[in-house]
Amino acid sequence: MNLPSSSTTLANCTPKLGLLQRNTLGIESYAEQAIVISKSEQIPLLLQDIKAHGLPWQVLGGGSNVVLPSVLPGITLLIDIAGKEVLSSDGTETLIRVGAGEHWHDFVQWTLAQDFPGMENLALIPGTVGASPIQNIGAYGLEVAHFIENVQAFDAEKNGFVTLSNRECEFAYRDSYFKQNPNRFIITQVTFKLPKAWAPKLTYAELAKQFSNQSPTPLEIFNAVCAIRSSKLPDPKVLGNAGSFFQNPIVSEAQCTELANQYPAIVSFPDAVGQRKLAAGWLIDQCGFKGKRIGPVGVYDKQALVLVNYGGGSAQDILGLAKQIQDKVQETFGVQLQIEPNIF
């Protein structure tokens, strides 16, 4: 399947490939045809062939932030581009170019082993490096956008490779230019810029509490983040899940004040000027969904933001439960929850 670019065409695709191990929700799904992309050079001729035959296509990385249908039509590109290269390192910053198929958590762990700290708060997030800019992954007070210098991708619209700067990526909360333009870009590499001047990021309440009056090392923060995530989120190898299924909704200060008057225990955080971010997990919990099970799917009993697949659950099951939650939260609080994973 991983042939030279000159011969990587539809003829090299594998028919009816099972994707159970390529999505963390554990949905039984298969691709009508799939091909592993291990080198960016494979992409141009393959896309040309796909377009010539008028076939639908999609990209799949680690499958940690997707809801897959029972069948993915057309051609599925499985991105396994590997490699890590330190482009430069001086007294102020380090530039590292990373293949899109690299596992995110392993990459974060590698940066610490190389004494390039900064991204330790983003430990244990499942998925690949190539997927990280699309969703602008974030956790415990940090977003990956803070570290991205540029993103290299194949632009299916322009039929060529492009490099988008951090600004051109248009990063926002769980959003980016890539997410706003689905099925246009195939991300091949991401370049990260890590400043040499390091300071711990301890704005997240549990980290602040754990390291109160301390000066933790990057590795200590990394280990703490891993422990916190493990205590709240199920291992997808044991219980299928896509992590947080809903975004924390952003509302105006006025609406937040009105809700706080009605629900004094409501959890919120400051966002942009005049806005606050509500804890979606708290909203869902108050609506009685935490730990609730409907057939093969349910809401995790330790974190209401996480929908789980107990086995045999389909996209229809997961999205049906999500709709029930959205409707109840809207009815109770007047707040619309947005689904975080990409729905294929």
Instruction: Tell me what the mean pLDDT of segment 236-248 comes to.
Output: 95
Which residues, 6+ apart, have CB-to-CB distance to 236 below 8 Å? 24, 25, 26, 64, 126, 242
Q: pLDDT above 90 covers what percent of the chain?
A: 93
Asked if 236 contacts 24 with a C-beta cutoff of 8 angstroms, the reply is yes
- Cα 338 to Cα 48, 92, 233: the distances in Å are 35, 39, 20
The per-residue pLDDT for range 90-127, each reduced to its tens digit, is 989 999 999 999 999 999 999 999 999 999 999 999 99
CA distance between the termini of the chain: 24
Is residue 174 part of the annotated active site? The answer reads yes
The amino acid at 336: Q
Is residue 215 part of the annotated active site? The answer reads no
pLDDT at 301 over 70: yes
Q: pLDDT above 70 covers what percent of the chain?
A: 98
Q: Residue 291: pLDDT band by 50, 70, 90 thresholds?
A: very high
pLDDT at 171 over 60: yes
Helix ranges restricted to H, 116-266: 132-135, 177-180, 205-210, 218-232, 253-262
Which residues, 6+ apart, have CB-to-CB distance to 194 below 8 Å? 93, 94, 96, 111, 116, 117, 118, 119, 147
The DSSP-derived string for 137-157 is: -EETTEEGGGTEEEEEEEETT
The conformation of residue 173, written as its DSSP 8-state character, comes to T
Question: At residue 249, what are phi and psi to the nearest 5 degrees?
Answer: -70, 145
Instruction: Tell me what the mean pLDDT of segment 203-223 comes to.
Output: 93
Name beta bridge partners: 160: 155
pLDDT at 205: 87
CA distance 149 to 147: 6
CA distance 234 to 103: 18
Mean pLDDT of the chain: 95
The per-residue pLDDT for range 36-58, each reduced to its tens digit, is 999 999 999 999 999 999 999 99
Instruction: Tell me what the mean pLDDT of segment 303-325 comes to.
Output: 97
Q: Residue 7: pLDDT band by 50, 70, 90 thresholds?
A: low
pLDDT at 22 over 60: yes
Catalytic residue among 32, 93, 170, 340: 340
pLDDT at 293 over 50: yes
pLDDT at 204: 87
Q: Residue 1: pLDDT band by 50, 70, 90 thresholds?
A: very low
Catalytic residue among 120, 174, 176, 276: 174
- Cα-trace Rg, the chain: 21
Please tell me the pTM assigned to this model.
0.92
pLDDT at 6 over 60: no
pLDDT at 117: 97
Is residue 340 part of the annotated active site? The answer reads yes
The amino acid at 101: G
Asked if 176 contacts 134 with a C-beta cutoff of 8 angstroms, the reply is yes
pLDDT at 313 over 60: yes
* Residue position matching structure tokens 């102020």: 92
CA distance 58 to 87: 30
pLDDT at 2 over 70: no
pLDDT at 221 over 80: yes
Catalytic residue among 244, 268, 276, 314: 244
